[in-house]
Structure 1
Amino acid sequence: MKGQTLKENKDFRRLYYRGKSEASPVLVTYAMKNRRGGCFYGITTSKKIGGAVERNRARRVIRAAYRSLEPKINGSWDFVFVARTRTTIVKSQAVEKAMLEHMQALGAIDE
């Protein structure tokens, strides 16, 4: 099943203010349990990341990492992933590793 995406600004703001967060040089993850049944995710890439090509690559890499980890998530969660400058230059395995560590620290995935 393909993960559903967060599209509303209020959903992003809710996670920024009330969600728990984990940060690394490659990625910032905000997470919060939901009662909707199912996992939802959103990706933020600011202009600080670079031009359109770099931002699109960052989104693509984050999306691929999330899809590979989605079957391991237990329960219903909302996630917002914020790309950092290093996201565009590291290999996709590094982004997936950072995401896995963040999800484990936040309790979305069992060790």
Structure 2
Amino acid sequence: MSKFVPLKKNLDFKNIYQYGKSAANRYLVLYMHPNGSSIRRFGFSISKKVGNAVCRNRLRRLLKEICRLNLDRFPDGHDYVFIVRQPSFDQGYHQLEKHVWHVLGRLLN
């Protein structure tokens, strides 16, 4: 089982936004781009318009945990960036997980 690898560099985020495919729903936007290796990397972007700092960090932690526990459901060799939208600020773990699978399914079809 591979481990969870975060995306950190601004250039990586820009490349994914520019060249990656995206899918969205009311709660999340997911970008996916091949990275040329066998690892999966994840990045999270949450605007200051989404709640306060406590709320944004909670959403980031929930998304990280969803990705970490379900690494095998994400295809190998891709970078993923989640953008959280305003209506997500009051979502729980299971609701957010459902939204993640919805946008991932739209992206893979």
- Does TM, scored on the shorter chain, surpass 0.5? yes
2:16–2:81 contact (8 Å) kept in structure 1: yes
Distance 1:65 1:80 in 2: 13
Aligned length, in residue pairs: 108
How well do the aligned residues superpose, as a CA RMSD in angstroms?
1.5
- Identify the residue that residue 89 of structure 2 maps to in structure 1: 88
- Identify the residue that residue 59 of structure 2 maps to in structure 1: 58
How many percent identity over aligned positions?
A: 32
Distance 2:23 2:106 in 1: 8
Quote how far apart the aligned CAs of 1:83 are: 1.1
1:4–1:41 contact (8 Å) kept in structure 2: yes
1:69–1:100 contact (8 Å) kept in structure 2: no
1:6–1:41 contact (8 Å) kept in structure 2: yes
- Identify the residue that residue 49 of structure 2 maps to in structure 1: 48
Quote how far apart the aligned CAs of 1:101 are: 2.0
1:66–1:96 contact (8 Å) kept in structure 2: no
Distance 1:85 1:54 in 2: 11
Quote how far apart the aligned CAs of 1:76 are: 1.1
- Identify the residue that residue 25 of structure 1 maps to in structure 2: 26
Distance 1:60 1:27 in 2: 15
Which runs of 5 or more residues in structure 1 are unaligned?
A: none
Distance 2:70 2:105 in 1: 11
Quote how far apart the aligned CAs of 1:5 are: 0.6
Quote how far apart the aligned CAs of 1:96 are: 1.0
- Identify the residue that residue 37 of structure 1 maps to in structure 2: 38
Distance 1:76 1:93 in 2: 26
Point out 4+ residue stretches in structure 1 off by more than 4 angstroms.
Answer: none
1:30–1:79 contact (8 Å) kept in structure 2: yes
Deviations 1:10-61 (A, max 9, x none): 1101111111111111111011122122000100111111211011011011
TM-score by length of 1: 0.87
Which runs of 5 or more residues in structure 2 are unaligned?
A: none
